[in-house]
Amino acid sequence: MKITPEFLNKYNKTGPRYTSYPPATSFTQDFKSENFVPALINSNSHQPENISIYIHIPFCPQLCYFCGCNTQKFESAAKVRRYIDCVLKEIDTVAQHIDKSRKVSQVHWGGGTPNSINFDYIQEIMEKIGSHFSYTQNPEIAIECSPAYLSVEDIDRLATIGFNRVSLGIQDFNDEVLNAINRRPSKLPIDQVIERFRLNHFKGINLDLVYGLPLQTLESFRQNIEKAIALSPDRIVTFSYAHVPWVNENQKKMDESTMAGPDLKLQMLLAGFELLTNSGYESIGMDHFAKPTDDLAIAKHNKKLHRNFQGYCTRETTGQVYAFGSSGISQLWGTYAQNKKNLFHYMEAIEETGLAIDRGYSLSKEEIVIREVIDEVMCNGIVDFTEIGKRVKCNADDVKIITGFDGNKLQPFIEDGLAEVINDNVHVNADGMFVVRNIAMLFDPNLVKSTSKFSKTV
């Protein structure tokens, strides 16, 4: 079927994004640091055995108006030093509760702009991690970088510290659009940046693009995609700009009249999809693309794709996530725990107790089953009830009962050629992945009837 804006509009209703199940909006403030310690200890006896570490750096030298990340303008070196000391202390506190026979398979640095801080601090934190934990044979050590603050020496230094994956925030190649969002262009030509990372044996090199920003047109967005393809990165992400000026004050500084409306954004999404898939990139999620040789594309083929708050990963390398720094979310087998978002509140809590949990959620056994099913639909477009049952220690029928699965509700998707049932398992096809959130909702018995607090599904 040819996916058209009209088709997508048919399915475009409100629903959870399912970046986690239950969604972060369900986290409650009764979950505190006292609840986190037993959850940490409990995580030692659950799968995945591997450890994923997330380090959040909430500083940027300049704030882009469109940004929805938890970050703030860099003010003083003393404040950054104080923050780094807190992250070091938090790692010491959490590490006491982790079984040291478990290995680290992933480290992800996000923000904010991790590459805008003193690289000695980055090294200090990596050494702290190394002092507590050992690594698997081929760990993924990733960092999100703004190319505005990357020199050739910086790239070499990141490699020396141990990084082997990078995600570069491009957003748009056009200087006028960058001006309108208060963003600096890349310090070096992007092809040189990519080449230098490759020389240092980085894999999974990713470029982030955003559509829906001020002054962008369908044509200019196409040109962005074409430029990105010409650079031949391993992965390209096309984020839909999330405009929520009532949450992010800075977004009010942009001229709304120059931004694409929902219909044009759908056209941009489809144009990006077509250009990328016609150029040999494979669709990983609706807005994530990877070369067929990339680990994520291989994992997608093998139905081993997984997702956490840091993005897509593979079931082989993924671990339970232990997050450090303000706003970081730990994702353990049965628990989510989020740190305080406010920088000062985070630092005060860490200085006092070594932990800074603000809110969280303990999943019931049933919710763990639902989460596994929804993750599989969202990432791999498949529900193998028996296989999931094995993972959560129950049988296929229990999985159906717990998720409230009703084949009749899948029927319209089957009739539209988006999904099929083979050997009692549900398979979502490539077109169906455009509306995968709608299909995931069929397995969510707790979905609140009033879904007005959620965004549109497409």
- CA dihedral in degrees (24, 412, 312, 193; nearest 10)? -120
Distance (Å, whole) CA 70 – CA 56:
9
Residues at the interface with ligand SAM (CB under 6 A)? 60, 66-69, 110-113, 144, 146, 169, 171, 208, 210, 239, 241-242
Query: Closest approach of Cβ 189 to ligand SAM, in Å?
Result: 16
Q: Which of 20, 43, 105, 113 binds ligand SF4 (CB under 6 A)?
A: 113
Q: Which of 40, 60, 107, 350 binds ligand SF4 (CB under 6 A)?
A: 60
User: Which residue type, as a one-letter code, is found at position 166?
Assistant: V
Size of the site for ligand SF4 (CB under 6 A): 12
Instruction: Name which of 4 and 258 has its Cβ closer to ligand SAM.
Output: 258
Query: Closest approach of Cβ 167 to ligand SF4, in Å?
Result: 11
Which residues are 220's β-sheet partners?
none
DSSP for 221-277 reads HHHHHHHHHHH--SEEEEEEP---TTT-GGGGGS-GGGS--HHHHHHHHHHHHHHHH
Distance (Å, whole) CA 10 – CA 239:
21
Instruction: Name which of 84 and 178 has its Cβ closer to ligand SF4.
Output: 178
Q: What is the CA radius of gyration of the chain?
A: 22
Q: Omega into 58 within 30° of 0, i.e. cis?
A: no
E strands, 45-164, where?
Answer: 51-57, 59-60, 72-73, 103-111, 134-145
Identify the DSSP state of 171.
E
Q: Is 112 in the site for ligand SF4 (CB under 6 A)?
A: yes
Around Cβ 109, how many Cβ atoms within 10 Å? 29
Query: Closest approach of Cβ 418 to ligand SAM, in Å?
Result: 26
Q: Is 297 in the site for ligand SF4 (CB under 6 A)?
A: no
Distance (Å, whole) CA 418 – CA 437:
12
Query: Closest approach of Cβ 208 to ligand SF4, in Å?
Result: 9
Q: How far is CA 384 from CA 112, 372, 425, in A?
A: 38, 11, 5
User: Which residue type, as a one-letter code, is found at position 220?
Assistant: S
Distance (Å, whole) CA 68 – CA 18:
18
Query: Closest approach of Cβ 112 to ligand SF4, in Å?
Result: 5
Q: Which of 319, 308, 334, 318 is nearest to 36 (CA)?
A: 334
Instruction: Name which of 248 and 353 has its Cβ closer to ligand SF4.
Output: 248
Q: Is 67 in the site for ligand SF4 (CB under 6 A)?
A: yes
Q: Is 69 in the site for ligand SF4 (CB under 6 A)?
A: yes
Residue 63 binds which of ligand SF4, ligand SAM, none (CB < 5-8 A, kind-dependent): ligand SF4
Query: Closest approach of Cβ 69 to ligand SAM, in Å?
Result: 5
Instruction: Name which of 110 and 285 has its Cβ closer to ligand SF4.
Output: 110
| Part of the chain binding ligand SF4 (CB under 6 A), chosen from 66-74, 159-167, 222-230, 301-309 | 66-74
Residue 239 binds which of ligand SF4, ligand SAM, none (CB < 5-8 A, kind-dependent): ligand SAM
Residues 151-180 that bind ligand SF4 (CB under 6 A): 169
Q: Which of 43, 105, 106, 146 binds ligand SF4 (CB under 6 A)?
A: 146
Q: Which residues of the shown chain bind ligand SF4 in the complex (CB under 6 A)? A: 60, 63-64, 67, 69, 71, 111-113, 146, 169, 183
